[in-house]
Amino acid sequence: MSGSASGRIEYIYLNYLWIYSWTVTKRLVDIDDALLAEVRELTGVATMKEAVNTALRQLLDTELRRQHLLRLETGRGTDLGDDEVMQGAWR
């Protein structure tokens, strides 16, 4: 494992031909202690970093699901309104 001041971390496992890398940036932020405690309790994570990353991931996943449901509901971005495509779908 190697890391640099920029926060880039790389894991390279040559025995399995698996390479994993991502970029992390250290940030100084004020976090509500009560909110953090609730997130840690609800998610079962042990660290502040895990809690923040889990909360961010869940927020992103929720928003992506909402957008997908809205797309399905409205049909926007699909060819469901195209009669020719829909006729072919029911054969």
pTM of the model: 0.60
- How far is C-alpha 37 from the chain's CA centre? 21
Q: What is the mean pLDDT of residues 77-84?
A: 79
7 close to 26: Cβ distance less than 8 angstroms: yes
pLDDT digits (tens, 9 = 90+) for 9-61: 555 455 554 455 567 788 899 999 999 999 999 999 999 999 999 999 999 99
